[in-house]
């Protein structure tokens, strides 16, 4: 009962946040709302008994990516004065609206066949999950099944994930890390003087 | 920018707690929620908070970029190295059972080392990305 109330409240907040994100034009406020969105999702994951996922969502989604987006905002100019005037939309909104409504209705229709949450007979629970539940603590001695699966049974997958994270870091370094060419620095100085 | 006394005091109070919590998440991941990914992110969050409050230069003095580059690679090498060690000990790649006297001990040691590698790489890469973004606008 209490779960249902919390779920409905969190989902209502999520919907409100997403509508607010779509309707806003202030990028700073949008970044803040993205953080709130991630935090609400983390709350939902906790209610669904997935604290590991909630942990990651709260740390990465609400924490790091908010900071990174703020850093990006600080690099780019404030959007309040766009250098171009936005053309009035030429198309009519009805066709896209119908497409979205039909697609959404199809997706909702599809959810009717999804097994209910936590159903032990769901296809996802009947293959390897049962083996992990019955054997993971005997074979690895690790009480947290998520860690056992992540680090031991699927160790090779996780190695690949770490390699992906490392590659992302290297790519960022190659693209925007390191020393900047002197001309760019000079141009930046000039721009700041012009502003002053 | 004028130094903000309240921010400085609160940050100095919070940063040790964040680091201790990240270590708890790292090494308690076998028993509770958490693990290398989360711990690495939380660990880097402590330094990002420091950089936000005290400035990027002060933060780069604490963790120089060269260290971060090496740490990011070190974590990945540690993970892959555990796999190579298990190969040399006669097991399959990343089969931790051969690392210890019993299966449980081997699995425990393997998971601990692997999660440590994940944590080091994730924490270092998060800081690398943050420094790259935040340092871009400086002259």
Read off the pLDDT of residues B46-104 as tens digits, 9 standing for 90 and up. 999 999 899 888 988 998 889 999 999 999 999 999 999 999 988 888 888 888 888 88
Examine the domain organization and report whether A31 and A72 are in the same domain: yes
Q: Which residue of chain A is at minimal alpha-carbon distance from B45?
A: A64
Decide if A46 is inside a domain: yes
A192, HSE (Cβ side, Cα atoms, 13 Å) = 9
Q: Residues for chain B: how many in total?
A: 139
pLDDT attached to residue A177? 74
Examine the domain organization and report whether A144 and A180 are in the same domain: no
Chain B residues with beta carbon closer than 8 angstroms to that of A67:
48, 52, 130
pTM for this one? 0.81
Examine the domain organization and report whether A142 and A74 are in the same domain: no
Examine the domain organization and report whether A62 and A73 are in the same domain: yes
User: What ranges in chain B are assigned the alpha helix state H?
Assistant: 5-27, 36-54, 56-62, 65-88, 103-134
pLDDT attached to residue A106? 96
Examine the domain organization and report whether A141 and A160 are in the same domain: no
Closest-CA distance of chain B to residue A3, Å: 20
Concatenated DSSP letters of B49-64: HHHHHH-HHHHHHHS-
Examine the domain organization and report whether A145 and A180 are in the same domain: no
Number of domains making up chain A: 3
Examine the domain organization and report whether A169 and A135 are in the same domain: no
Q: pLDDT band for position B136 (50/70/90)?
A: confident
Examine the domain organization and report whether A69 and A39 are in the same domain: yes
Q: Which residue of chain A is at minimal alpha-carbon distance from B81?
A: A159
Domain that holds residue A188: 155-196
Number of domains making up chain B: 1
Question: How many other β-carbons are positioned within 10 Å of the β-carbon of residue B70?
Answer: 13
Chain B residues with beta carbon closer than 8 angstroms to that of A136:
none
Examine the domain organization and report whether A137 and A169 are in the same domain: no
Question: How many other β-carbons are positioned within 10 Å of the β-carbon of residue A129?
Answer: 14
User: Which segments in chain A show pLDDT lower than 50?
Assistant: 182, 195-196
Q: Do the Cβ atoms of A162 and B128 come within 8 Å?
A: no
Decide if B18 is inside a domain: yes
Examine the domain organization and report whether A41 and A74 are in the same domain: yes
Token readout for B60 is 């780069």
Chain B residues with beta carbon closer than 8 angstroms to that of A156:
93-94
Examine the domain organization and report whether A125 and A195 are in the same domain: no
Domain that holds residue B14: 5-134
pLDDT attached to residue A82? 62
Decide if A21 is inside a domain: yes
Chain A residues with beta carbon closer than 8 angstroms to that of B104:
140-141
Examine the domain organization and report whether A22 and A60 are in the same domain: yes
């Amino acid at each position: 009962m209490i779960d249902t109330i919390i779920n409905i409240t969190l989902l209502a907040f999520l919907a409100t946040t997403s509508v607010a994100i779509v309707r806003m034009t202030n990028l700073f406020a949008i970044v803040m709302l993205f953080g709130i969105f991630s935090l609400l999702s983390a709350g939902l994951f906790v209610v669904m008994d997935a604290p590991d996922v909630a942990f990651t969502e709260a740390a990465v989604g609400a924490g790091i990516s908010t900071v990174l987006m703020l850093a990006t905002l600080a690099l780019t100019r404030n959007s309040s004065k766009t250098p171009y005037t936005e053309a009035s939309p030429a198309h009519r909104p009805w066709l896209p609206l119908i497409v979205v409504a039909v697609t959404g209705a199809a997706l909702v229709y599809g959810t009717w066949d999804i097994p209910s949450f936590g159903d032990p007979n769901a296809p996802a629970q009947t293959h390897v999950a049962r083996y992990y539940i019955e054997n993971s603590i005997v074979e690895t001695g690790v009480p947290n099944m998520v860690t056992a699966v992540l680090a031991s049974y699927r160790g090779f997958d996780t190695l690949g994930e770490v390699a992906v994270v490392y590659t992302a870091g290297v790519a960022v370094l190659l693209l925007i890390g390191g020393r900047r060419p002197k001309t760019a620095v000079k141009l930046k100085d000039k721009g700041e003087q012009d502003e002053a | 920018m004028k130094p903000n006394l309240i921010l400085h005091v609160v940050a100095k109070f919070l940063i040790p707690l964040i680091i201790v919590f990240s270590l708890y998440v790292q090494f308690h991941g076998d028993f509770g929620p958490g693990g290398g990914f989360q711990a690495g992110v939380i660990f880097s969050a402590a330094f990002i908070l420091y950089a936000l409050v005290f400035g990027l230069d002060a933060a780069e003095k604490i963790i120089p970029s060269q260290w971060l580059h090496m740490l990011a690679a070190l974590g990945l090498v540690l993970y892959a190295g555990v796999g190579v060690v298990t190969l040399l000990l006669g097991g399959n790649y990343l089969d931790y059972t051969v690392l210890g006297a019993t299966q449980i001990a081997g699995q425990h040691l393997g998971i601990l080392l692997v999660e440590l590698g994940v944590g080091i790489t994730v924490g270092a890469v998060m800081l690398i990305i943050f420094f790259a973004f935040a340092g871009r606008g400086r002259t």
